Structure 1
Amino acid sequence: MASIRKRGTGYQVRYYYYDMDGHEREKSKSGFKTKSAARLFASRVEIDYQNGLNIATGDRPFADYFDYFYHTYKEPKIKFMTQQRYKITSRVLHKYFGKTSLKNMNRQRYQQFINHYGSDHAKDTVYKVNSLVRAAAQNAILDDLIHKDFTQRVEIIYDKSRDKKIEYLNIDEVKRLASYLENNLNPNYTSSFMILTALLTGARLGEIQALTWKDINFNFKTISISKSWNYMQGGGFQDTKNEGSKRIISVNNNLLDDLKILKDHRKDKSMVFMNQFNTIPSSSALNKKLRQSLKDLGINRSGFHFHSLRHTHVAYLLACGIDIYIISKRLGHTNISTTTRTYSYLIDEYKAKNDEQIRNELDKLLPQEKVNQVSKGNR
């Protein structure tokens, strides 16, 4: 593709490529003081060309750059589900933007895309797509391909009718489910133990499946989350969702006592929730057990599944007055904004319940006769 030749006191690189219409073109660059510098430039041209860069103009389609960003910087280190999200987003971008160049991307054009895409997608879906595109845009700035982040301060538009309210159990139902599970524990079948663990820790399914006995500290009453289980691809350890997901969770005595039943029963196993068949219960098996348990208790929650136990854990902690920052750390969220965005519905619900208590506490700052006067004046 490229040739190097001596030209005067320096070197020239001549390279050939096919333009957007399929015609072969030629371009050259001179002024390299050494042959090694010319070779380095030629190598970079080759890499850019293979990655879809229009080397005639130094530009490439925005959707192609998104693919390049994903394959180069993200694919090697992200989990299967996140890879699928990138691939879906790629298809959306290619369909909407087509050959729109990266250098022609701006806030107006991107806002129009968000308006279009958000018109028939839920809030969480639009947020996720925007976060992936923003990461690619910021990477393009670091690569000196663009100078401004065209995703900055874009208004997120979404279809409110598609947003689902978080499914969770109320306090009475939580107590009934926990009691039911504890009274029906069988160390040969570990599903009930896993459901209890999710209910009492808020941990994700993969994090629970990956637990080993080294992760359980019975003396300090903690569970260490340092890895996850690749249940989508047949099992095996993998990294956690992100660095923020690595954490140590404080747990109560009842859960530790339940886990000791498993530990004493199967002393030869390193995996906490390996059952008598030497397998770890799958998502479908856990959901089947959970649905049957709720049915036995007469609790009707058609959309309730294993991940809803995480939501239930948050709802219970909020009801107990636990600070949202502490809850965020317990869940393994990278930042508190993830928690407040995900659980905004629950937070608003418990905020309303606490407003009266807040008013009463503020009234205590005033002399009692002043409070009585204000109360009479409002009648």
Structure 2
Amino acid sequence: MWIEKHGAGFRIRDRVADRKVTVSDGFPTKTQARAAMKVLVGDQARGDLVMPASGALSLGEWTVEWWDARKSGLAPNTQRSEWSRIKTHIIPELGDASLVSITPLAVQQFVSRLGKRRSAKTVHNVHGVLHTIMAGAVAERLVRVNPCAGTRLPRGTAQEMKFLTEPEAQRLVLAVPEHYRPLVVTALGTGLRWAELAGLRVGRVDVLAATLRVEETMSELAGAAELVFGPPKSARSRRTVSLPSEVQQALIGLTANRKPDELVFRTTTGQPMRVRNFRRVWLAAVARAGVEGLRFHDLRHTHVAWLISGKATLTAIQHRLGHASITVTSDRYGHLLPAVDAQIVDVLNEALPRSDWGQDGGSESTPTHDNPPQDTATTSVNGTETP
């Protein structure tokens, strides 16, 4: 914030969203402008200052400026999906409104309208993008508070997880064509996501050490034929995963005598694994195995269920799955813990030392110096000798 000469007087200027804007004008002297600027700086420090430019700036205009800076830090698939939500839902409904007119009520009404024609998941995703847009406006002091905070969003019905029993898993593996069995066995034995498996390269598998390293994922741009290779979804997703012996054996033939940068899992023609192509193979195998409705991602859920039944801790599961926080792991799989509670009690029953606790809660009389043992065979009760 600074003061500059303007006509016969002075004005206070600042830079907002990489543009110079006039914060206040019409001061006859520089001293008066300096005093006013001191008040404005205080308002700015408290977060109470709103730039006058925000009254004339529409949400659509601000979103375009915000998006130019925002998109460079996004993965291609995320960039495509976020911009789709902006141009399909946010701009048509709210783009002409000025930033200062986007109130909590306006956001709630927007969400309610959207919820009448779109799924709860779509509403949540669109609201999330709008929330980020307005957070950027708050950071640039175009609005004082984020009007998206506190919006009541529709409750969605979470897609039910499916968990395979060991016999079901065996049937599924046998139902999958032989070429794709290592992929399914690796998914069951490691819990890796589809994108992590599709992007796994030979050089990141150490069969002798029985480990693999997740460093890259492969994704497909929505509505396009382009494949995109990039880092995992979060820093915690970069991880080393230990391999059970069955997975170790399955990967030997897929990694031996191959170049480090080659993909481990490929189609029968040697091409990268695409979801739409594998889907036909998957649905046929699921039907043959008698586990209709099973998604490929349910192999990850099955992996977790097996770990929990084997008494693995949530922290260990978090690191193995590459979740960003233990909260994610707990929210998704915490409900499975009561199912193994009886097993935990059985372990404790076996581990605890045995004792004869008696009927009085375990207290046994032991001689002490304060209470020496009696030499006589009788005691006095109410003055009467009793044996």
TM-score when normalising by structure 1: 0.68
- Paired AA for residue 130 in structure 1: H
Give 1:280-299 correspondences, 5 Å limit: 280-297=272-289, 299=290
Distance 1:324 1:214 in 2: 29
Distance change >3 Å, CA 362–CA 175, structure 1 → 2: same
- The answer to whether 1:202 aligns with 2:191 is yes
Look up the match of 1:146. 143
Identity of aligned residues (%): 20
CA contact under 8 A between 1:79 and 1:241: conserved in structure 2? no
- The answer to whether 1:304 aligns with 2:304 is no
SS in 2 for 1:326: helix
CA contact under 8 A between 1:67 and 1:90: conserved in structure 2? no
Distance change >3 Å, CA 11–CA 59, structure 1 → 2: same
Look up the match of 1:169. 164
Give 1:118-197 correspondences, 5 Å limit: 118=115, 121-160=118-157, 163-178=158-173, 185=178, 189=179, 191-197=180-186
CA contact under 8 A between 2:163 and 2:302: conserved in structure 1? yes
Deviates more, 1:171-180 or 1:197-206: 171-180
* CA drift at 1:203: 1.8
Give 1:199-238 correspondences, 5 Å limit: 199-232=188-221, 233-238=225-230
- Paired AA for residue 304 in structure 1: L
Look up the match of 2:66. 69
Look up the match of 2:339. 353
The structure 2 residue matched to 1:262, chosen from 249, 254, 257, is: 254
Q: Which runs of 5+ in 1 are unaligned?
A: 1-8, 13-27, 47-53, 372-379
Look up the match of 1:252. 244
Deviates more, 1:98-107 or 1:113-122: 113-122
Distance 1:56 1:210 in 2: 47
SS in 1 for 2:212: strand
* CA drift at 1:228: 1.5
- Paired AA for residue 174 in structure 1: A
CA-based RMSD of the aligned residues comes to 4.2
Paired residues in the alignment total: 323
- The answer to whether 1:242 aligns with 2:234 is yes
- Paired AA for residue 194 in structure 2: L
CA contact under 8 A between 2:236 and 2:322: conserved in structure 1? yes
Look up the match of 1:6. none
Look up the match of 2:19. 44
Larger Rg computed on CA atoms: 2
Q: Which runs of 5+ in 2 are unaligned?
A: 22-50, 362-387
* CA drift at 1:215: 0.9
Distance change >3 Å, CA 151–CA 272, structure 1 → 2: same
Look up the match of 1:104. 101
CA displacement, residues 60-94 of structure 1 (integer Å, 9 cap, x when unaligned):
23354344333321355323255224422442223
Look up the match of 1:330. 320
Distance 1:179 1:42 in 2: 59
TM-score when normalising by structure 2: 0.67
Distance 1:152 1:370 in 2: 58
Distance 2:17 2:96 in 1: 25
CA contact under 8 A between 2:286 and 2:294: conserved in structure 1? no
* CA drift at 1:99: 2.6
- Paired AA for residue 300 in structure 1: V
CA contact under 8 A between 2:17 and 2:140: conserved in structure 1? no
Distance change >3 Å, CA 220–CA 277, structure 1 → 2: same
